[in-house]
Structure 1
Amino acid sequence: MSQPEYLQRFYLVIANIPAGQVCTYGKVAEMAGYPRMARAVGRCLKQLPKDSRLPWFRVINAKGELSFPKGSDAYLRQRAHLEEEGVVFIGAKVRLKDYLWQGG
């Protein structure tokens, strides 16, 4: 059975987020042509295989925060990936004004 088209479009948008930048769940959905499906983006990322090469860690919430519980293994892994790419955190937030990818 093939995947729904929206999943394929989410994956395509996420695959194109450049290193050192982030995108929000809502912006991914919007760029994929499915506005108001931010939660579906989150569900799609939650179901990625562990060996996926998709840069899932570049997708964060609209507040500029990671969606995993602060201090959890997943939170620390995502934050480390972003910091390795040069994304700077101020406390627990990424300054979207500086790091938000707008597509293109």
Structure 2
Amino acid sequence: MPTEWSPAKRRQKDAQARWTTKHGKAYLGYKLSVSVDRRHKLIRQVEVSDASVADTLHLVKVLDRDDSSRDLWADRGYHDKPRERWLKQIAWRPHIQRKGQAG
């Protein structure tokens, strides 16, 4: 924690959380990845880590092979050709966002 924080502010912060930066801004906290069963609307898998861990490392841990849908919806951070080939090999249908193009 920054040394310039007052004792009152320090008491309100989670000492186990970790710092990370994104686009030049610092964040304190955790990352949460969740796998939800589409048909039954139930959370199947949860992975929590500190904020400095890459989101993509959670994919294998939250990928539930017993999911009734076999569709994987993810943001563009998960777009990677080897990852998409692997998902198709294990019979998943990846729906991963792509980076937008200007115009």
Q: TM-score, normalised by structure 2?
A: 0.31
Higher helix share: 1
Q: TM-score, normalised by structure 1?
A: 0.31
**Greater Rg by CA:** 2
